[in-house]
Structure 1
Amino acid sequence: MRIDRLRLFEVNLPLVHGFETSSHRKTGLTHLLVEATEADGRVGWGEIASPADPFYGPETTATAWTIAERYLVPAAVGATWETPEELESRWYRIRGHEFAKAGFSIAAWDLHARSAGLSLASSLGGTRTEVTAGVSLGIEPTVDELLTQVARQVDSGYSRVKLKIAPGWDVAPVRAVRAAYPELDLHVDANGAYADTDETASVMRSLDAQGLTMIEQPYAPRDFVAHARLQRTLSTPICLDESIVDVADLHTMLTLDAGRVLNIKVSRMGGLTAARRAHDIAQDAGVPVWCGGMHEFGVGRAANVAISSLPNFTLPSDVSGSDKYYARDVVVPPVLADQGVVQVPVSPGLGHVVDVDWVRQNATRILDTAAAAV
């Protein structure tokens, strides 16, 4: 297998509803789409879902474009490979930049699955035919507005809701949602916004009393010791997200008991190969996993659905329908949820067709190796 042409699209889509976390608010997303064309004309797609600003992690859309243009595109074009792992080995010397790598990894896996006539889920070893989806809700101006958003998602059939929290927006909104929905699968996500203090410990104990499925990433990404210390005081499992960039981080989490649930993000871990490996390690350790999201467009969302079909994804994943985020997605058909359940595609590759015309209409810049070669 050989990739003869690569195109990189920087695409902006507005969100149907603004989304606020502990660090910032966004009303639209700019992601990079990777189109890889093999020698026989077969096409695979990937998505680089890095945020525009360095608040979730150090990568941004701008840094991802630079790394892709200078290093990943030259490493991929013209390379001969049989498996996605073999192609990914061509950029092993690049430290970090997992989001950028993930986009090329997804494209390679899409090509690999299509060439074998397999769905991406089957190619990865997935066993599920459907995935239970959850939704993630941002910080709202008022508790009443948050309750309105929760009601909308529950009425749509979603059985798990994740609430973003931050200092000053934590116990009160969670208590209000729990009072309104006593049986709801509910968890919270701080995105590392809290300092390791006695005041934080008190907040976490109050949240611990709310019957949550998990408390996600309360402390900074590298502070495994603080997470381990907090976990010993709580009955609610701590879930790590930003802390787990590679499998070495996962081994640290397991050794220290710094978390008892793992959020696997394909983007954060550098692609589908690394995500599958993390799944296998967590499964062997008896740690349940779920797939987190970065408000991906349909390409990245379809990859998330595929990885979520693996057996140890036993908790609802952030693979809710595209229509929750975008009025019109970049794939046809869009990823849809019916009563909170997403069907795993069975057609080859990602199982969706990319609307290239729509991608081009919303692209703010395009890199095309074919044009560069002329």
Structure 2
Amino acid sequence: MKLSGVELRRIRMPLVAPFRTSFGTQTVRETLLLRVESADGEGWGECVAMSDPLYSPEYVDGCADVLRRFLVPALTRRDRLDATLVAPALAPFKGHLMAKAALEMAVLDAELRERGVPFARELGAVHERVPCGVSVGIMDSVPELLDAVAGYLDAGYARIKLKIEPGWDVAPVRAVRERFGDDVLLQVDANTAYTLADARHLARLDPFDLLLIEQPLPEDDIRGHAELARQVRTPICLDESITSARSAADAIALGATSVVNVKPGRVGGYLEARRIHDVCVAHGVPVWCGGMLETGLGRAANVALAALPGFTLPGDTSASDRYYRTDITAPFTLADGHLAVPTGPGLGVEPLADALAEVTVDTEWVAA
């Protein structure tokens, strides 16, 4: 295909409830969507960068700028383009993995729509539905947390993930175990909030039989994670530290991780996410699909990825109503703790015109 241009669309969607992590509290999700056009059709992509550079160095305004000035022109200059050529074409521009991932996703969606191939089939999915976990933010009190967890378990979620930070870790985990028992699949996510000096404290989580501790230390502290893994029994899972298949292979070789959270936007796209999956499978390391409060567009792609054989743990591919009262696509609805993998061409979902218009705050056309 040859791109005729790319639409950058900013949307603003209120969350059903504040979502607090060690990075801060979100009440609104501001997202950058991409729509690529060619002579044969269109495709959609979603950039997972946040409004501020707190989770990663990328942020919405920065992504829009680098897409407008560098990334989109690098693709629209090409006479022939498919999704496998996106990463090589963008490689001269350092970093900006979330922006690159959104552009690759849109090109892949357009290509697969033209070929009549579902996202899941192209990636190598083997399941028709995937088990879903839910991420529970930091609360003002333990009783509030317990009420939230009870609601998610009643809804059928297969796994509970608790966000933690210093001062909110052992007590809430203990309370959830005491209230709901040992049969609940439970894990915690620190979002880089600790240091290796906290190893003894983090070891206090060992008695609670957690699936994993996700990203306890800063993303660049691979050696620290390897040392922490020797001091605690709970498996260490890396998230922010994993930016490519190579970084995953290195972390596994160093003993810094025994579980990997794959977030396509964080690693440059779904094709690199599949490579990370393949590396982990080759080393016997389980993977699961993380979430970034995606709309139905990004959720559709994540569910397709989570249907690959190596995704053996429930991911953060929760239902649409976990975060949004109204999604911009037909909502993803939980059934027996699972979400169905879309089967239509490309992403298998389309933005709903009225819903999309209601949350759109700005659009910009970047022509070839």
TM-score, normalized by length of structure 2? 0.97
Report Cα offsets for 1:322-365 as digits up to 9, x if no partner.
1111111111x222221220000111111111123432332222
Secondary structure of the equivalent of 1:353?
Answer: coil
Q: Would you say 1:163 and 2:159 are equivalent positions?
A: no
Using the TM superposition, give the Cα deviation of residue 78 of structure 1 relative to its aligned residue in structure 2, in angstroms: 4.8
Equivalent residues in 2 for 1:11-22 (5 A)? 11-22=11-22
**Number of paired residues?**
367
Partner SS, residue 266 of structure 2: coil
Amino acid at match of 2:184: L
Counting only pairs closer than 5 Å after superposition, residues 186-205 of structure 1 correspond to structure 2 as: 186-197=186-197, 200-205=198-203
Q: Does 1:132 align with 2:131?
A: yes
SS at match of 2:231: coil
Q: Partners in 2 of 1:285 and 1:134 — Cα distance?
A: 24
Question: What letter matches 1:193 in structure 2?
Answer: A
Worse-matched range after superposition: 284-293 or 339-348: 339-348
Q: How does 1:55-94 map to 2 (within 5 A)?
A: 55-81=54-80, 83-94=82-93
Aligned-pair RMSD on alpha carbons?
Answer: 1.2
- Secondary structure in 2 matching 1:109: helix
1:154 alignment partner in structure 2: 153
In the alignment, structure 1 segments of 5+ residues that lack a partner are: none
Match of 1:288 among 286, 289, 295: 286
Which residue matches 2:113?
114
Q: Name the structure 2 match of 1:298.
A: 296
Q: Residue 271 of structure 1: CA displacement?
A: 0.6
Change (3 A) 1:137 1:33: same
Structure 1 match to 2:308: 310
Identity %: 42
1:268 to partner: Cα distance: 0.4
| TM-score of the aligned structures, taking structure 1 as reference length | 0.96
CA contact under 8 A between 1:109 and 1:272: conserved in structure 2?
no
1:9/1:359 contact within 8 Å kept: no
- Cα deviations across residues 254-311 of structure 1 (Å, max 9, x unaligned)? 1111010000001100111110111111110110000000001111111101111111
| Matching residue of 2:344 | 347
Matched residues in 2 for 1:258 and 1:313: separation?
19
Residue of structure 1 equivalent to 2:335 = 338
Distance of 2:166 and 2:27 partners within structure 1: 22
Residue aligning to 1:102: 101
Change (3 A) 1:283 1:354: same
Superposed structure 1 runs of 4+ greater than 2 Å apart = 76-83, 356-361
Partner of 2:215: 217
Does 1:367 find its partner at 2:364? yes
Unpaired runs of 5+ residues, structure 2, are none
Aligned residue type for 1:233: Q
Mapped contact 2:68–2:366 kept (Cα < 8 A)? no
Deviates more, 1:62-71 or 1:257-266: 62-71
How far off is 1:242 after superposition?
0.4
Contact 1:213 1:237 (8 Å CA) reproduced: yes
Aligned-pair CA distance for 1:82: 5.1
Tell me the secondary structure at the aligned position of residue 316 of structure 1: coil
